Every structure is written in structure tokens, then in C-alpha cells.
Structure 1
């Protein structure tokens, strides 16, 4: 049996904190869905999730950051994820005619690998090779 790699532990923590973030933002989405159209509900809950993701990734998942680079690049990752997520949500509801309340969960599941890889790139300092 091979020992668990540090990278595997980070990914598990990423999944756990992602689950917490998903539950929190999904509850917000459902609450807003009673008041607003699904795209607005998704957008507001998504922006809230960006702030929560920063703190969870910074202090629990990667436990490091690259200073201003991390602060500036994380929103860009989430803007890209948001654009793809809105497309997934729209396709889910309008093309596939599936329930609105499940749309953000589908978008989240589809985008997990994309988000993990890019988040790791901006939070974890590259290892330098010793001469």
C-alpha cells in the first residue's frame, strides 16, 4: 500500500471545503430563487461563494498563498468559472429542460477539476529546484 501523498490530502480538503461552500451558496440560491429569476439568484450566490472560497482555500486547503497575485487572480478564475457555469445553468434549464433548482449543482460538479487545478496554481508557490 502506498502512502497518502500530500497532494491527495489537499484535494480532499478542497473537496470538503468545496462541499461547504456549495451547501452555503446553494442555500442562498434557493432562498433567492423565491424572490429573483434563476440567473440573478445564481449570480448573487456565486459572488458570495467567491469570498467564502478565498478564505477556505487560503486558510484550510492550501494553507499558503502568493500574496497579491493570489488576491488578484482568484477572482479571474471564478469569473471564468462563472461564465462557464452560467452557460451550464442555462443549457440545463432551457435546452435540457431540467429543474432549475438542480442547475447550480450540475454546474459545480462539472467545474470541480477546472477550479481545483487553477486554484492550486495561484495559491501554491512553485517549488524551486536546488542546483
Structure 2
């Protein structure tokens, strides 16, 4: 299996774990907070775990403070797509608020991979992987 495909599969596995963390937190927070506040807080909690899994497991790179501080920026695309999707699904299309975040998160996956790879994999490391 080539290295890029293996990385994509690891990213998918981390995404499943991250989605589970997000969704569990979202459902928990929805008991006390409005839908959008629960979404934002759950997203933040899941993103910290996602950073470490992405570094150690997906991209096999050393975590640094610089990458940690940039990682939320790399997820801005994911946040915008999932937030807009959640709002559209719940408020315009009347999708159940327990299901909508999963659909919105799925739409953001390809964009999140590209941006996370850009942030976590340095140019030097990429050039070492190329023949």
C-alpha cells in the first residue's frame, strides 16, 4: 500500500474517533446549551484530541506548540463547513439536530484532510517522502 493511501486511511480512522468524541460531547452539551453553543464547545474539545491523533498516528510527525497553535486554523474550513451545514440542515431543512452534525461533518472531511496535511507535514518532511 502506498504511503499516501495509508495516510488517508489513518486519517479516516482518526476522523471516526474524532467524530465520536465530538458527537458524544455535542449530545451531552445539548442538555444544557443551545444547539450552536453545544456544537462549538464539542468541536473545540474534539479538536484537541484530533491534533494529537493526527500528529502521532495519521501524519507521524512530532507535535509542537507551533503546530498545535496552527492546527485550529487548519480546521477553520472544517468548522465553517460543518457549522454552516448544521445550521442549514437544522434550521432550513428541519433535519433532526441529533443527526444533522454527522451529515455536516461528513461533508467537511475531504477539506479537513487537505488542510491538516498542509499544517502538520512540513515541506522538508514531504520532500523526503518523494523520490
If the TM-score is normalised by the length of the shorter chain, which range does it land in?
0.7 to 0.9
Q: Which has the larger radius of gyration?
A: 1
Contact conserved, 1:77 with 1:119, CA < 8 A, in 2?
A: yes
- The corresponding residue for 1:21 is 18
**1:106 equivalenced with 2:103 (yes/no):** yes
* Alignment TM-score, normalising by the size of structure 1: 0.88
Q: Output the CA distance in 1 between the equivalents of 2:97 and 2:103.
A: 10
- The corresponding residue for 1:87 is 84
Alpha-carbon offset, residue 25 of structure 1: 1.3
Q: Output the CA distance in 2 between the equivalents of 1:61 and 1:27.
A: 22
Across the aligned residues of Structure 1 and Structure 2, the Cα RMSD in angstroms comes to 1.9
| Alpha carbons of structure 1 residues 83 and 90: separation in structure 2 relative to 1, 3 Å | same
> Any residues of structure 2 matched to 1:51-62 within 5 Å, and which?
51-62=48-59
| Alpha carbons of structure 1 residues 122 and 65: separation in structure 2 relative to 1, 3 Å | farther
Which ranges in structure 1 are unaligned for 5 or more consecutive residues?
none
**1:124 equivalenced with 2:121 (yes/no):** yes
